[in-house]
């Protein structure tokens, strides 16, 4: 992996050199594209090894994720539905001891993890799913979101349970730690180590791919789109946009300028609310078209006409985009959730149930409904990604693309910050926690922003998909092995909750 990174770094440098000789800006974009495409194609063809089913190709990795989500849902007896209400109470803080106030709350952990997952997957990913898989893909996205809740529960519980707590009070957690520590408890220390290293490598690639290049690329596309499309003065300046974003991201993650991060963390939830509110308004204005849209979504799920591979094609697209959007089974959220200090790791898992729900079942469905209602996906022009969503919203609210462009850039920015953190955690897990290693990764991360912004959509989406999905290869093996551990903890927690041993504190809060 190190070698690959070096190659990529080197090719970027070559790119800059080529540009110096040949001032045409197109040059640098092309050079970067040409340098990356073969590498990304090679990785993609391995991760997305597919078996043909009728006309459609079913990537085995999608089967891997869906089967794990189904097994988790059944094994934990529909924890996604049965604990839904209790999770709301946990997030509200009903069970938080006021004496522990000041620690990261369940709400904060969820909000932070969400700001890492809510982003382009919800806007661009849905559009890709619907444009390739038809409206029916939406149905399968929702199904995948609901099933993904159970997987997310398992990985976040484990993340908290097996995290490292250091003497200075800081914590590090995530799949690398439950793989190495959890599997060692089961007498599979060797396998655990191998999985942890494999996961960390994939997470680093995912952090640079889906968590970085995809974000930079799509936010640039959107910026070009609102500033005049092909004629935009920015159209050929992807590398420049990338450079600007890289400097801002660098200022936060390397320069430690917390104020930028703080502002983003506050604006992102606000943007998400504006996005959902606008989607709702568009849906309400077209309320008469909603039954037909829902009909198309459900109908298309089982018999998709005009979609490559029919219903199977819709299913594959839906599952694939859902997994990319909510990251259930991928393991990334487990890193984010493990900062919570709780006596019961299970509670953090239960809170995390809501992540795929909000991300996929709520936000993705809204995007999909707007795209289907406005009929933008059939309008022709071969639009995909953010442009399709932007078009769909614009057909109802003409000025919305500007807000969407801003939202996309902010979502992309916050997702990049989250993934840079995941990447750093895995990097330092592999190479040791030192300042220089930390800095080296962050520099590489910034370079990849420039690369991502310069590339065409295709290679970027494929590479980011493949890197992020590869994380699930190791993660899900570890999850299967640790399922019984989580089940034991869950049963103990659930029986104490039912017997009243675990009490609500909120009653004390009321000042009467």
Partner 1 sequence: MDTFLVGIDGSEGSQRAAEFAARCAKFRDAKLIVAYVIEWSPYSFHTLEENEERHKRREEEIDRAENEVLAPLVASLKAQDLEVESLVRHGHGAEVLSALAVENKADQIFVGRRGQTKLQALLFGSVAGSLVQISPTPVTVVP
**Beta-ladder partners of 51:** 58
Closer to partner 1 by CB, 109 or 386: give it: 109
Does position 108 interact with partner 1 (CB under 8 A)? The reply is yes
Classify residue 341 as exposed, middle or buried by CB count within 10 Å of its CB (0-12, 13-18, 19+).
middle
Q: Which is nearer to partner 1, 70 or 104 (CB)?
A: 104
User: What does the alpha-carbon distance between residue 95 and residue 90 come to, in Å, rounded to a whole number?
Assistant: 6
DSSP string, 214-259: HHHHHHHHHHHHHTTGGG-TTTT-HHHHHHHHHHHHHHHHTT--HH
Give the binding range for partner 1 (CB under 8 A) out of 168-176, 291-299, 349-357, 397-405.
168-176
Q: Footprint of partner 1 on residues 245-274 (CB under 8 A)?
A: 258, 261-262, 265-266, 268-269
Query: Helix, strand or coil for residue 327?
Result: coil
How near is the Cβ of 438 to partner 1 at its closest, in Å?
Answer: 11
Decide: is 157 part of the binding site for partner 1 (CB under 8 A).
no
332 or 389, CB closer to partner 1? 332
Beta-strand runs (E) in 96-226 = 164-165, 171-172
| Touching partner 1, residues 318-337 (CB under 8 A) | 336
Distance from C-alpha of 329 to C-alpha of 347, rounded to nearest angstrom: 18
Which listed range, 127-135, 280-288, 489-497, 503-511, lies at the site for partner 1 (CB under 8 A)? 503-511
Distance CA(145)–CA(129), nearest Å, equals 14
Minimum distance from CB of 69 to partner 1 (Å)? Answer: 25
Distance CA 422, CA 314 (A): 31
Residues 400-439 that bind partner 1 (CB under 8 A): 417-418, 421
Which CB atom, from 98 or from 295, has the smaller least distance to partner 1?
A: 98
Regarding 89 and contact with partner 1 (CB under 8 A), the answer is no
- Is 84 a binding residue for partner 1 by CB under 8 A? The answer is no
DSSP strands (E only) in 73-211: 164-165, 171-172
CB of 499 to partner 1, least distance (A): 24
Interface with partner 1 includes 111 (CB under 8 A)? yes
Tell me the helices (H) and strands (E) count for the chain, helix number first.
26, 4
Pairing of strands 56-59, 164-165: unpaired
Residues that bind partner 1 (CB under 8 A): 93, 96, 98-99, 101-105, 107-109, 111-112, 115-116, 168-172, 258, 261-262, 265-266, 268-269, 336, 339-341, 417-418, 421, 508-509, 511-512
């Amino acid at each position: 992996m190190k070698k690959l990174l070096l190659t990529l770094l080197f090719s970027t440098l070559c790119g800059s050199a080529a540009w110096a000789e040949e001032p045409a800006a197109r040059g640098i974009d092309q050079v970067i594209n040409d340098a990356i495409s073969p590498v990304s194609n090679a990785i993609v063809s391995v991760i997305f090894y597919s078996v043909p089913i009728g006309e459609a190709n079913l990537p085995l990795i999608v089967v891997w994720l869906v089967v794990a989500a189904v097994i988790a849902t059944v094994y934990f007896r529909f924890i996604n539905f049965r604990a839904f209400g209790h999770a709301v109470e946990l997030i509200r803080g009903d069970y938080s001891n006021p004496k522990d106030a000041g620690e990261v709350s369940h709400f904060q952990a969820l909000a932070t993890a969400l700001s890492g997952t809510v982003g382009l997957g919800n806007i661009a990913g849905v559009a890709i799913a619907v444009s390739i898989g038809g409206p029916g893909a939406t149905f399968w996205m929702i199904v995948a979101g609901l099933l993904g809740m159970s997987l997310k529960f398992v990985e976040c519980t484990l993340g908290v349970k097996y995290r490292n707590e250091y003497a200075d009070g800081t914590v590090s957690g995530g799949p690398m730690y439950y793989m190495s520590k959890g599997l060692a408890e089961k007498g599979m220390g060797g396998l655990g180590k191998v999985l942890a290293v494999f996961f960390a490598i994939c997470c680093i690639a995912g952090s640079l791919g889906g968590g970085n290049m995809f974000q930079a690329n799509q936010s640039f596309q959107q910026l070009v789109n609102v500033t005049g499309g092909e004629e935009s003065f920015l159209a050929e300046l992807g590398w420049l946009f990338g450079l600007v974003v890289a400097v801002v991201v660098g200022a936060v993650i390397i320069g430690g300028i917390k104020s930028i991060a703080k502002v983003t963390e506050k604006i992102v939830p606000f943007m998400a609310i504006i996005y959902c509110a606008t989607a709702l308004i568009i849906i309400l204005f077209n309320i008469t078209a909603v039954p037909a849209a829902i009909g198309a979504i459900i109908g298309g799920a089982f018999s998709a006409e005009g979609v490559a591979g029919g219903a199977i094609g819709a299913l594959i697209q839906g599952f694939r985009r859902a997994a990319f959007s909510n990251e259930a089974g991928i393991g990334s959220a487990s890193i984010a959730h493990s900062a919570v200090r709780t006596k019961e790791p299970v509670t953090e898992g239960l809170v995390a149930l809501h992540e795929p729900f909000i991300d996929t079942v709520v936000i993705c469905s809204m995007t999909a409904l707007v795209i289907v209602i406005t009929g933008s996906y059939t309008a022709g022009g071969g639009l995909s990604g953010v442009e399709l969503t932007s078009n769909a919203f614009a057909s109802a609210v003409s000025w919305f693309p500007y807000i969407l462009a801003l939202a996309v850039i902010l979502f992309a920015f916050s997702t990049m910050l989250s993934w840079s953190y995941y990447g750093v955690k895995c990097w330092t897990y592999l190479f040791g926690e030192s300042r220089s290693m930390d800095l080296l990764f962050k520099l590489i991360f910034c370079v990849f922003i420039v690369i991502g912004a310069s590339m065409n959509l295709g290679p970027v989406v494929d590479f980011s998909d493949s890197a992020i999905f590869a994380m699930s290869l190791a993660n899900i093996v570890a999850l299967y092995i640790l399922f019984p551990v989580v089940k034991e903890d869950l049963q103990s927690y659930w029986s104490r909750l039912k017997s009243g041993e675990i009490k609500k504190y909120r009653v004390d809060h009321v000042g009467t």
